[in-house]
Amino acid sequence: MTVSGISVYRGGTVDEVAPLAKKLKAIYLRYGVVYRLSRFQTGPNVGDWLVVVQYADQAAYEKAQAALAQDSECQQVFVEIAQFAKRMSREMVVDLEL
């Protein structure tokens, strides 16, 4: 079953966020992880960022997490993001196969 991490971030302009998100997407793809970025347009989170990362299953999640923790390029992008954005929440979900 697919495992997804859903995070909400606050802060940063499109010009700040987009280049770093593109880097992260390329890094994540190397490890078989799907990366998606959206921006809230309505509701109480207007202007916040929604990041969804998707892993094939629990084993893929664990393998990717171990690899990403050792990836210096990925860790540097995280440092750069933290300079202007704060993670407000993170939830892990497992898709049901219907």
* pLDDT attached to residue 4: 97
* pLDDT attached to residue 47: 97
- pTM of the full structure: 0.90
The CATH topology of domain 3-92 is: Alpha-Beta Plaits (3.30.70)
**Is a pLDDT exceeding 90 seen at residue 72?**
yes
Sketch the domain layout of the chain as residue ranges. 3-92
- DSSP annotation of 89 reads E
Task: Give the whole-angstrom CA distance, residue 84 versus residue 54.
Answer: 24
* pLDDT attached to residue 13: 96
* Residue 91: CB atoms within 10 Å: 9
